[in-house]
Structure 1
Amino acid sequence: MSTSPDWTRFEAFARALTARVGERLLAFGDAAVEQKADGSLVTEADLWADGEIRAAIAAEFPEHGVITEETEHLFSGTEWCWVVDPIDGTTNFTRGIPIWGTSMGLLYCGTPVFGLVHFPPLQQTFHGIWIGDSGLDGQSGAFLNGKPIRTSPDEPSSNHLFNACTRSTSVLQPSLPCKSRVVGVCTYSFLLVATGAVLAAVEAIPKVWDIAATWAILQAAGGTFEQLGSEPVFPLQTGRDYGSQALPSLVASRPAVATVFAPLVESVWKNSRF
């Protein structure tokens, strides 16, 4: 494929698809809930959304690969690959808490270059293009409802926020230089860093579909993404099954802020054997 992708086409497709799926999810009503082997929840709404999104990608981009939370976990090595979380925040979705959304990241040669995350109850849509060292033509940028967003230039203080996950609060609380919050939805937790509302965030056991879209958006907004562990997240490896691989991650508004929090969250990945 040309090194000049049609970014407008990618955005329009993901925006229209997540809006259509989101509208249906808002009207889904009570959905049967099951617990998966890893302890997370899945509903008939997740499975319906997964099927709708995979079918739409196959129709619009038949040459693209797909990884989704509910069905496709193997990276086939295609030049372009969508990584999808049909409902990030399924627990919130089942309990009527209005923070959940659909995440779509697009990988080029195994690394995210585009992301869009739509949160139907909040009517918020984040998207971004991250050129990085991909060699693709285009301009990096991050947006919320079409308006540019940037990470905060501030230094950590007691008047700033840090997003923890439920598995990291006990580790961080004693020495944390900021007030902490637990959002409960990985993509939204990370994207609040992209908007400048939060300085940094950690997740102990995210999967690739939790971070692919936010990887692109956060970096396009000026932030940094740190893998907590010895192996980098991207590029994905051809033939690897990412279904059970936890990818503990720290995101921050800029590298200097990441160095403040990195020692505090070091034990998060060591205690996350999933």
Structure 2
Amino acid sequence: MIYFWHQVYNFCHQITHRIGESLLADFAQLEPTRKADGSLVTKADKWADEELRLGIKQCFPTHGVLTEETEHILPPNEWCWVIDPIDGTTNFTRGIPIWGISIGLLYRGIPVFGFVHFPQVQQTYHGYYYGNTGLTGPKGAFLNNNLISTSDASPTMNHVVTMCNRSLDILKHDFPCKVRITGVTSYDLISVACGATLGAIEASPKIWDVAGAYPILLAAGGNFVHIDPENAFPLTKGVNYGNISFPCLAVAKENLISVFKPLVESIYQPKSLLNLSSV
């Protein structure tokens, strides 16, 4: 199993850095088009998506693939890669340097390994979190191969929580921290993992937005709360995840759930929160 994880890490490192170098040449140079769901896409997204799919097929031929740009139905394979070729396409096209290549590896529908590379800011994160899958292997979360962990701090106005544009109604209530909006779900979740922020609130991310960051966050000691428990892990084979959202709350420590959960409840339908679950 150790050799397998060594293969996985090396593959992710090599392909994301190769693709990232090419994408840097297109940074702020391409005009996006709008997809049916309203999100943006460029020829760079499509190229990177194809390169990732071809690389996985060559190196891991028995594994399935789920991607933002092409493959939305979860295949029956025990192992499945979930890729977002450019998480933060709007930032990428408008010259904002926070955007990345996100890769998550599912085992029986549960993200157990994540690798997210942000070429413009030269940050590369990876992490292993096996939960109750029975898998064994390396442990921990890392930034540029240095071990990271979540913050132990209590909320103050000297600390930061990130959120998406669709969550801004929360600010109609008193909020215990400063707020930042990056426009990149994986970056927001990982900012909790590395201790930069105490929490992240995301109203409508897709599976390719969270699958890479999820194991990194949990491996670093964070908590991931499914706002809609019906859309939680494990994923279901044969389901089309193209239009399914994974609204979530990420926090640095479990005790912060009680701090931020009521604020999240204030902007979401209560019935979707009756059985709020976390891992």
Scaled by the length of structure 1, what TM-score is found?
Answer: 0.95
The residue aligned with 2:275 is: none
Structure 1 residue 21 corresponds to structure 2 residue 31:
no
- Contact kept, 8 Å, 1:248 with 1:268, in 2: the verdict is no
Secondary structure in 2 aligned to 1:219? helix
Match of 1:43 in 2: 42
Partner of 1:224: 223
Whole-angstrom CA distance in 2 between matches of 1:10 and 1:162:
31
Task: Name structure 2 gaps, 5 residues minimum.
Answer: 273-279
Q: 4+ residue stretches of structure 1 with deviation over 6 A?
A: none
Task: Confirm or deny: 8 A CA contact 2:231 2:245 kept in the other structure.
Answer: no
Among 5, 21, 24, the alignment partner of 1:7 is 5
Report the CA distance between 1:137 and its aligned residue. 1.3
Which residues in structure 2 correspond to 1:230-269 (within 5 Å)?
230-269=229-268
**Residue aligning to 1:178:** 177
* Aligned partner of residue 112 in structure 1, secondary structure: strand
CA shift digits 1:9-51 (9 cap, x unpaired): 1011001000001001111252242101121100000000000
For 2:53 and 2:127, locate their aligned partners in 1 and report how far apart those are by CA, in whole Å: 21
68-77 vs 173-182, greater mean Cα deviation:
173-182
Question: Partner residue of 1:120?
Answer: 119
Secondary structure of the corresponding residue to residue 228 of structure 2: coil
> How far did residue 252 of structure 1 move?
0.3
Q: Secondary structure at the match of 2:212?
A: helix
**Could you give the per-residue CA deviations for residues 138-188 of structure 1, whole angstroms, max 9, x where no partner exists?**
132000000000000111112111111111122235221111111111110
Distance 1:184 1:249 in 2: 15
1:208-239 CA distance string (max 9 Å, x none): 00000111000000000000013142100011
Q: Which amino acid aligns with 2:189?
A: F
How many residues align structurally? 270
> How many angstroms apart in 2 are the aligned matches of 1:237 and 1:65?
13
Contact kept? 1:142, 1:149, Cα under 8 Å: yes
Q: Write the distance in 2 (CA, Å) between the matches of 1:268 and 1:115.
A: 29
SS of 1:6's equivalent in the other structure is helix
For 2:138 and 2:41, locate their aligned partners in 1 and report how far apart those are by CA, in whole Å.
Answer: 37
Cα deviation for residue 267 of structure 1 reads 4.2
Change (3 A) 1:75 1:267: farther
Q: Percent same amino acid at aligned positions?
A: 51
Q: Distance in 1 between matches of 2:25 and 2:187?
A: 22
Q: 1 CA distance for matches of 2:192 and 2:79?
A: 27
SS in 1 for 2:180: strand
Contact 2:5–2:138 at 8 Å: present in 1 too? no
Deviations 1:181-200 (A, max 9, x none): 11111110111100111000
Q: Distance in 2 between matches of 1:223 and 1:200?
A: 9
Does structure 1 conserve the Cα–Cα contact (< 8 Å) formed by 2:2 and 2:138? no
Task: Give me the TM-score of the superposition, normalised by structure 2.
Answer: 0.93
What SS does the aligned partner of 2:18 have?
Answer: helix
CA distance in 2, matches of 1:171, 1:151: 23
Query: Unmatched 5+ residue regions in structure 1?
Result: none
